[in-house]
Structure 1
Amino acid sequence: MHTVAETPLLTLSGVTKRFGGVQAIRHADLTLLPGQVHAIVGENGAGKSTLIKILSGAEQLDDGTITFDGAETHVRGPSGAIDLGIATVYQEAQLFGELTVAENIFVGREIRRRGRVDWVEQNRQVVELLGRLDLPASLATREVSTLSAAEQQQVSIAKALSRDARVLILDEPSAILTQAEIEVLFTAIRRLAEQGVAIIYITHRLDELFSIADVVTVMRDGSTLGTYELAEMDVRRIAELMVGGEILEGRHDREPAGGQPRLALSGLTSAGRFEGIDLTVAAGEVVVLYGLVGSGVAEIASAVYGVEEITGGTLTLEGDSIRPRSPRHARSLGINLLPANRKLGGMFTFQSVAFNISVGNLGVFRRLGAWMDRGRERGVARDLIARLAIKTPDERTPVGSLSGGNAQKVVLARQLVERPAVLLLAEPTQGVDIGAKEEIHLIVSELADAGTAVLVTTSDLGEAIRIADRLVVIREGRVFAEFPARARQSEVLAAAAGQRDDVDGPGSGEVAS
């Protein structure tokens, strides 16, 4: 473990923040040391995002003090944070894909000599920055659009370092990375900590804290409960602090309704994506597709929804052969999708909660043919807000201002307006906290109990086992194994990795030949 200084670099004391009638931060204390990786965790809505916005200058505190390098200070806007040496790197890289790495790092503040950009000096400084992260010098001249997600994230970190950042805030940095990419990220973080940079690490993945963080601060209901040494904690204890009680283990007990398959895939093929997929989903059943990155899991769901081209095999719905030509066509057949990238494919962030619930169900709210029944729209929205326990001031609030878990529940609420025959859920709890995850799992069970055929794709093995009535492992674009409810994690992981010997024994799955 690297050496951590004892003199605080950054201290927050008694910080509060209110938005109208909502107390986002009630009381927050935080002490950050140079060379320390300091994790902050909490449920969606606990106040993490607001705290980060205050530190990054996007929001101003109402009360309390911020001390930086021994002097009380005010973070006056994002530029003020950068001037102090506080930089934030978000989950999704804020970069220009058509520009090179060097151009992105110096965009808007180019080094000029005699009125012209000094490309040689810029590239020299970028190569030096990349070296701090143990990245190759050749990266400097590559276009950002050609880089992997992990490389883009490290470019964002290099950009922050180019502004002499002494505090680096990483907001959900591992959410969209593979395990191999996460290890690369962790290596870069450790290297920066050894150089004395203080790092605030925000994540919902509690297990990864023990691989990267020195301490963890837990937030709940807008307050910091305390800061704890990771060596003295475990995942269960942190989770219990986050939700304010004991976490119940196990899976939701439900007996899926038996019956004929509602959705059936027979030999379904998409050239270069997957091949010969045989799969059924009955009404009232939750079937989970699980596989490692690149297995073809996501593409199978996309084909059912009319996104990926089907080049072979058949797809039937209620016994009738179908071939969805587009998402709109799929919806007209009774097949809905909750996409993995909610911001791009699932929500209108500047529109209200009510709008985001009603959109896609406009036929339900039309009056006299063309006019929207706004009263009914608001009423349905209020009912679903209460039913799904969505934390929002009211149905008129822009969905983009909600926490990730609550925004996710809004997108799920849309599916409850007119229950689809088949619901496809892609990574339904990606980027949400443990409490919101539990609530979303309950909603999935309720949808199935009401008769919807649910097909889930997820890279979260714990989630797959918890909600599945049947779990199908996809490997290299083919069905590799199938497991009943309550499968063992070791068996499923072994199958996903291509090991057939480990799927024998009581309660194990049937391995495809």
Structure 2
Amino acid sequence: MENHALGPDGGHEVPQNPARVQLTGIAKRYGAVRAISNADIVLYGGRVHALVGENGAGKSTLIKILAGAESTDAGLIEFDGRPVTLGTTSSSIALGIATVYQEPQLFQELTVAENIFAGRELRRHGRIDWAKQHEAVVELLALIGLEERYAPMTVSDLSIAEQQQVSIAKALAQDVTVLILDEPSAILTDAEIENLFTVIRRLQERNVAVVYISHRLDELARIADEVTIMRDGRTIATHEMKDVSIRAIAEAMVGGMHAVQSREHKAEPGPARFELVGLARSNRFHDVNVTVAAGEIVALYGLVGSGASDIAATIFGILKADAGTMLLDGSPVTPRNPRHAQKLRIALLPADRKRQGMFAFQTIAFNVSIGHLPLLTKFGLWVDRKRETVIAKDMITRLAVRTPNELQAIGALSGGNAQKVVLARQLVVNPRLLILEEPTQGVDIGAKEEIHLLISQMADQGTAVLVVTSDLPEALRVADRIQIVRKGTTTVTLPPTASQVDLLAAAAGEEPENSQEGAGHENR
């Protein structure tokens, strides 16, 4: 494993206790895509091991292998010093390896107690031993900081943080030896994060090995004993957390990336088209200040759980702000719902196109027109199919969608072409403000470049564009200005000439060297 000198000691101090799990030379390929080429990681009981890396670095694949959800193509896995094969989730569970994902995997309609022992109820003489099970539930709830009164509560009545605690209790019910926490703090408040850390420290006392995956680099120093950095499917280095800085981790994470070419400007941006002044929503975001000019592309760049997606949802009327002002061409606006936002000519491309952006079994024509039925109906009774076809064909040509015709089902298209169709719907009526959430998520390199070109063309035509992204190169590639969002608020503004390390460090909580104060149009 390549070992970058990230700390004063230049290496990794090995704890005295023996390794609980050791993965050596792990490789995994999906068809022509090599997800992991060479990964090593050693986990020790009673220690928290942070796993970090940019999107696509290989973290998710590595933990899927550890959780038994994926098999390896090469490499050795050892548990308590002996070789093991983890080809199924049941094989990992048998060893006490459990995973708690960012979104709790619980039965919403069942009680807390029922969820904790779902599928492995405590039985006596063939029947569920409710008394013994309740006693065990109470003990587990106490360990994670919840009172006995939670046991009979329905999971759907709990907060996300409480559901996450129940997920941890469920893992502990199976005599867990290794607990994998995937972005556990992304959806939590500061107070909830403190409670999570308390739970993790209790697990350390029980000699549980904890794998902590997070994009929030600033919190690692408070909870992790050691950190492994991944990049391009490889483990780059492992170091004691006390010996490494946020900037050093950021440099290792992006060190292998090529320089990103920013977009070429064809015209100066016009006057301020859209402004957010002190926008806030309780427990989501606060004091958000953003300005986007006509013909300008501003990127809201934040790590997972930064609050950037909630800001976009509020602009489009999906969520409601508690405070602050929203201005469109200088006039105050408050989108009541998405339909009202559309009337204001605000368009939103959702991050999850499969669940929020498309009807997979419907045609391209249907998917393009569905958001604009008032424009396509005659006497408010039926859809003008000829006009629908004309618009669909025009969009197919304009966005270079690769398809036999407009009657092709969108679900049969490639990811990039499906994304273009969802984008086309937003462009039927030329928007004043175009919001794009993770616009190239799940598309290939060629489609990504084409979509970036389309975004640039929209700005050149005078549209104000707000790109909400957690993709580091994307923010630098498409934006005229990059607004950092961290812990639910806008912080510094960076130019597209900023380094990737500066961007990542700023999003993680360290002041960058190349920053601009504020977020106003005057700072572009």
- The answer for unaligned runs of 5 or more in structure 1 is 291-295, 384-394, 400-406, 433-438, 487-505
| Residue 92 of structure 1, CA deviation | 0.2
| Residue 111 of structure 1, CA deviation | 2.5
Equivalent in the alignment of 2:129:
118
| Residue 143 of structure 1, CA deviation | 2.0
Equivalent in the alignment of 1:421:
431
CA RMSD in angstroms, aligned pairs only: 5.7
How far apart, in 2, do the equivalents of 1:268 and 1:237 lie? 33
Distance 1:259 1:173, change over 3 A: same
Larger mean Cα displacement after TM superposition, 26-35 or 303-312: 303-312
Equivalent in the alignment of 1:136:
147
Equivalent in the alignment of 2:57:
46
For residue 24 of structure 1, the aligned residue among 35, 40, 47 is 35
| Residue 114 of structure 1, CA deviation | 5.1
Distance 1:186 1:319, change over 3 A: closer
Q: In the alignment, does 2:68 pair up with 1:57?
A: yes
How far apart, in 2, do the equivalents of 1:28 and 1:228 lie? 15
| Residue 152 of structure 1, CA deviation | 1.2
Equivalent in the alignment of 1:208:
219
| Residue 117 of structure 1, CA deviation | 3.3
Distance 1:285 1:102, change over 3 A: same
Paired residue secondary structure (1:12) = strand
Paired residues of 2:274 and 2:433 also in contact (CA < 8 A): no
Equivalent in the alignment of 2:250:
239
Paired residues of 2:368 and 2:424 also in contact (CA < 8 A): no
For residue 230 of structure 2, the aligned residue among 195, 205, 219 is 219
Equivalent in the alignment of 2:184:
173
Alignment of 1:43-122 (within 5 A): 43-113=54-124, 116-122=127-133
Equivalent in the alignment of 1:33:
44
- TM-score, structure 1 length as denominator? 0.66
Deviations 1:470-501 (A, max 9, x none): 9899xx9xxx9999989xxxxxxxxxxxxxxx
Distance 1:114 1:267, change over 3 A: closer
Q: How many matched pairs? A: 446
Paired residue secondary structure (2:39) = strand
Paired residues of 1:41 and 1:204 also in contact (CA < 8 A): yes
Distance 1:20 1:289, change over 3 A: closer
Larger mean Cα displacement after TM superposition, 135-144 or 11-20: 135-144
Equivalent in the alignment of 1:386:
none
Equivalent residue letter for 1:421: P
Paired residue secondary structure (1:92) = coil
| Residue 369 of structure 1, CA deviation | 6.1
Paired residue secondary structure (1:218) = strand
Paired residues of 2:435 and 2:467 also in contact (CA < 8 A): yes
Deviations 1:4-62 (A, max 9, x none): 65211111112211111111111121111111111111121121111111111111111
Report percent identity of matched pairs. 50
Equivalent residue letter for 2:198: T
For residue 156 of structure 2, the aligned residue among 142, 145, 164 is 145
Paired residues of 2:99 and 2:181 also in contact (CA < 8 A): yes
Distance 1:121 1:279, change over 3 A: same
How far apart, in 1, do the equivalents of 2:115 and 2:52 lie? 30
How far apart, in 1, do the equivalents of 2:210 and 2:326 lie? 50
Paired residue secondary structure (1:108) = coil
For residue 6 of structure 1, the aligned residue among 17, 20, 39 is 17
How far apart, in 1, do the equivalents of 2:232 and 2:289 lie? 46
| Residue 144 of structure 1, CA deviation | 1.6
